[in-house]
Amino acid sequence: MDNEKNIEEMIEDFTTTETNLSSSDGDKPVKERRKGNKRIINFIQVPSHKGNLVGKELINCLNEWGISKVFAVTVDNAYSNDVALRKLKRNLLEKDNTIPLNGEMFHMRCFAHILNLIVSDGLKELNEAISSIRNAVRYVRSSPARLKRFKKSCMDANIESKALLCLDVVTRWNSTYMMLEAAIKFKKAFDNLEGDANYTRYFDEERMAGPPSNLDWEKAGVFVSFLKRFYDLTYQFSGSLYVTSNLFVSDILKVQADLTTMASSPNTLLGTMAISMKRKYDKYWGRIEKLNMLTFMANILDPSATTESFLLGQLQLSDNIEEDDLEYYLNDRREKLDPIFDSLQWWKQNGFKYPVVARMAKEVLVVQMSTVTSESAFSTGGRILDAFRNSLSSRMVEALICSKNWYTCEYEEPIVLRQYMDEIEGLETCEQVIPEDLA
């Protein structure tokens, strides 16, 4: 394959106060670098989320950049995305039919999005408890006077935690997890607030759930303890500059084992949550046929993974693959399992032993399992597309987003734009004070 033009597309929709914007991120296979390369190549205005329209824009994007070979596309699990990728795959197959296995591995569903659907089903069992704690946190954060009384309540309860109370975004379960994790540490302080008439009156007047009862706090504790592993997994698979595809199979098997164990828990709440989540898990990951074959290949190509026999059965060799090369790699000793093991670095140093398999690894391991990573590109130091910035043309927004991404990706460390702007302004000032005959 032409390594220079192989590209993995990750698509993420971004909504401003007025319009919808769509971005296309390019992630080239790793050559001599340990870290992956990620570039935003388009950030365009799309009138609607209809699959055919999104697919058309993707085709236009690839054509504009002269990209003719696409290995895999990672998208959220949505019907419109299915339609868009079918259109894109059909277009690429009609051109030169260079998609591996006729596109069987082309469509990668976002790990973080499916995990979010699984966890959200479990959250339904805790709606009332979460609402009461959320309202209590909102009360404390609603004014400086209330926050001051809460701090005094913490002192009275001898709470020395430096955790900060934060409100969640209702549609993001990970933010709910962080809100509850912090709030639980201040349970005694919230209990002390119940002696404050203003605090209890707040819930009565607003007719909202709360104050949190002991049962609410107990449920929150169960939630935080149980879902920490899901929170950690989401964080792990949100990386874009390191390999995640090799972890997919082993991690979803661990999720399955955890849910199965918790479903039979004597704790009624925990058991109910797990059963609900297991039902959603089975819908997306319950059977091998529902998983992208690429994830099995990535597991096999991880030198530190213990390759199970059923995984080997998923790897079908094409005629141009030397079977002896693969068998040599599989029969070689496995590397010691280490949390900091770098599979890309290993292949860089050992690829000469298995040249054909090394080419496969270079293509497969760089495929991203999640589209969540692209959200970080839109976080430009706290800036958002507010009403003022919405006045910018879509082409200007695209230029700003892409140029910022390309510029910062050239450096290992983040660029402090304010520092460079100050230097530029200083140079401009010098030019103004230098006499023309000396300039």
The DSSP output letter for 11 is E
| Same domain as 215, residue 138 | yes
Among candidate residues 229, 261, 291, the one where a domain is terminated: 229
In a domain, 425, yes or no: yes
Residue 196 lies in a domain: yes
Look up the CATH number of the domain holding residue 384: 3.30.420
Q: Which of 210, 229, 248 is where one domain is finished?
A: 229
Residue 412, pLDDT score: 47
Decide which of 193, 213, 229 is a domain's last residue: 229
* CA gap 245, 239 in Å, rounded: 11
Question: Number of folded domains in the chain?
Answer: 2
Q: What are the percentages of helix, strand and coil residues in the chain, rounded to 5?
A: 60, 10, 35
Question: Does residue 38 form part of some domain?
Answer: yes
Is the residue at 288 inside a domain?
A: no
Q: Which domain holds residue 92?
A: 1-110+371-439
- pTM greater than the 0.75 cutoff: no
| Predicted pLDDT at 99 | 76
β-partners of residue 14 are 21
**Residue 387 has which token pair?**
């009403």
Cα separation of 363 and 193, whole Å?
57
CB atoms near residue 145 (< 10 Å): 9
Bridge partners, 24 (sequence order): 11, 42
Beta strands (DSSP E) in 28-67 are 39-45
Consecutive 10-residue runs of the chain (439 residues): their mean pLDDT?
A: 41 39 43 58 81 87 84 83 88 77 81 83 80 88 85 83 77 80 88 83 76 87 83 75 75 86 83 87 85 82 63 44 68 69 79 82 78 46 52 76 73 47 48 43
Predicted local confidence at residue 344, as pLDDT:
76
181 and 94 inside one domain? no
Amino acid at 147: L
